[in-house]
């Protein structure tokens, strides 16, 4: 494929510095009240997002079915984002109040949509939890846990419980569109800028009752409760980079840009400060 076409169709660049080693750390709740310093991942398979690039996962009923839901990822958001709303993992339509989304909006936010008309907390068409303790320009493990029976959303940042909301929604309305990593699912916008690694979507309340736990890296993918996990492994072809671990879902690299956006190449020779080697 010609270089110019390749740049248009492959907007996410793999950061290849070593190989991932899959361990036995499953992110179980820690017995202590303080999870201790977070061990952020080395960038040996992260995807670099430029605000116009995303991973597109074809529609599947599995993303619509669960009442209980956990969405998590390792992220390094760009330090210049500020209060800009950018989507980390999106399977929602704000216009029709369907689905769910984990995003940054001046802080980590998770929304569950159920109703009619444009999503709005005051209109009763969505429930959300939000916390602003995340630091831009640094690696974080982020997790949003939706307990359908309790209509509760709990946010975890680096293994610590940071935000919680008791709402009215016990299940998100089905959204029959795609799941997107790094952009809004229903429009060409809200693109993430920075690095995303290790995305996992589960049909269960993970970390139940925990105030802190040690985040796993990589995130496990061989559990019955896991809907899908995206490792973004290095050493793969362009076509394979976006693949989901089990191969169940069709995932591709994409862009919503009408003209070719910029694709900066990040070459980090060492792990971020505080990260494991």
Residue 245's domain comprises: 53-255
46-65 pLDDT, tens digit each? 888 989 989 999 999 999 98
Per-residue confidence (pLDDT) for residue 270, from 0 to 100: 38
What are the two backbone dihedrals, phi and then psi, of residue 40, each rounded to the nearest 5 degrees?
Answer: -75, 155
Give residue 35's Cα distance to chain centre: 21
Please tell me the least confidently modeled range out of 137-146, 172-181, 214-223.
214-223
Cis peptide before 218 (omega within 30 of 0): yes
- CATH for 82: 2.60.120.200
C-beta separation of 233 from 20 below 8 A: yes
Residue 220 covered by a domain: yes
DSSP strand pairing (53-57 vs 69-77): unpaired
- 157, two tokens: 């940042």
Flag whether pLDDT at 178 surpasses 60.
Answer: yes
Q: What is the CA radius of gyration of the chain?
A: 17
Residue 74 covered by a domain: yes
How many distinct structural domains can be found in the chain? 1
Which residues lie across from 181 on neighbouring strands?
55, 89
Per-residue confidence (pLDDT) for residue 82, from 0 to 100: 85
For residues 232-242, average pLDDT: 74
Highest-pLDDT range among 12-21, 22-31, 81-90: 81-90
Residue 42 covered by a domain: no
Residue 17 covered by a domain: no
Residue 262 covered by a domain: no
Per-residue confidence (pLDDT) for residue 238, from 0 to 100: 66
Per-residue confidence (pLDDT) for residue 119, from 0 to 100: 63
HSE of 33 in the Cβ direction (CA atoms, 13 Å)? 0
Write out the H or E segment, with its range, that includes residue 239.
helix 238-241
Per-residue confidence (pLDDT) for residue 213, from 0 to 100: 93
Residue 21 covered by a domain: no
The DSSP 8-state label assigned to residue 234 in this structure reads T
Which one is predicted more confidently, 69 or 47?
69
Percent of the chain with pLDDT over 90: 48
For residues 24-37, average pLDDT: 48
Residue 122 covered by a domain: yes
103-158 pLDDT, tens digit each? 999 899 999 998 776 666 555 578 999 999 999 988 899 999 999 999 999 999 99
């Amino acid at each position: 494929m010609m270089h110019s076409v390749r740049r248009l169709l492959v907007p996410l660049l793999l950061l290849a510095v070593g190989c991932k080693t899959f361990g036995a750390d499953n992110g179980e709740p820690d017995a202590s009240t303080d999870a201790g310093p977070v061990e952020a991942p080395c960038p040996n398979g992260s995807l670099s997002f430029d605000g116009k690039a995303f991973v597109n996962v074809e529609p599947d009923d599995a993303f619509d079915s669960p009442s209980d839901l956990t969405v998590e990822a390792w992220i390094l958001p760009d330090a210049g984002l500020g209060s800009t709303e950018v989507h980390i993992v999106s399977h929602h339509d704000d216009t029709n109040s369907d689905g769910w989304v984990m995003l940054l909006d001046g802080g980590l936010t998770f929304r569950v949509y159920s109703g009619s008309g444009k999503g709005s907390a005051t209109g009763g068409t969505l429930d959300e939890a939000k916390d602003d303790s995340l630091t831009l320009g640094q690696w974080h493990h982020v997790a949003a846990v939706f307990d359908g029976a309790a209509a509760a959303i709990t946010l975890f940042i680096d293994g610590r419980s940071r935000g919680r909301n008791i709402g009215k929604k016990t299940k998100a309305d089905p959204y029959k569109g795609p799941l997107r990593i790094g952009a809004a699912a229903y429009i060409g916008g809200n693109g993430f800028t920075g690095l995303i690694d290790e995305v996992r979507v589960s049909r269960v309340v993970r970390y139940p009752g925990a105030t802190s736990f040690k985040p796993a890296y990589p995130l496990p993918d061989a559990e019955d409760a896991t809907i899908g996990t995206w490792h973004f492994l290095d050493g793969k072809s362009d076509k394979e980079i976006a693949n989901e671990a089990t191969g169940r879902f069709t995932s591709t690299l994409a862009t919503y840009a009408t003209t070719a956006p910029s694709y900066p190449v990040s070459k980090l020779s060492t792990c971020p400060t505080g990260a494991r080697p």
